[in-house]
Amino acid sequence: MDVMHRILCFLGSLDWVSITALFVAVLSFVVARKTLNDAEDSWKQQKWFDLYSKADEGYNTLDRYCTDYKGTAGVLTVQQAADWNNLMSVIRQVHAMAMVFPKHPAIDKLVAATTPFDTPASALEQERLKHFLNAVGDLREMALLNPSVLIRSRIR
pLDDT tens column, 16-49: 677 788 788 888 888 888 888 877 888 888 999 9
Q: The pTM is what? A: 0.74
- What percentage of residues in the chain have a pLDDT greater than 70? 91
Residue 95 lies in a domain: yes
Does residue 85 share a domain with residue 64?
yes
User: What local confidence, expressed as pLDDT, does residue 83 receive?
Assistant: 94
Q: Residue 153: its pLDDT value, please? A: 57
Quote the CA–CA distance of 32 and 38 in Å, as a whole number: 10
Is residue 7 domain-shared with residue 60, that is, in the same domain?
Answer: no
71-75: average pLDDT? 73
CA 13/CA 15 separation, integer angstroms? 7
Number of domains composing the chain = 2
Contacts with 91 (C-beta within 8 Å, 6 or more apart), sequence order? 58, 62, 114, 117
Percent of the chain with pLDDT over 90: 49
Q: How do residues 92-120 score in pLDDT, each as one tens digit?
A: 999 999 999 999 999 999 999 998 878 88
Full domain range(s) for residue 110: 44-148
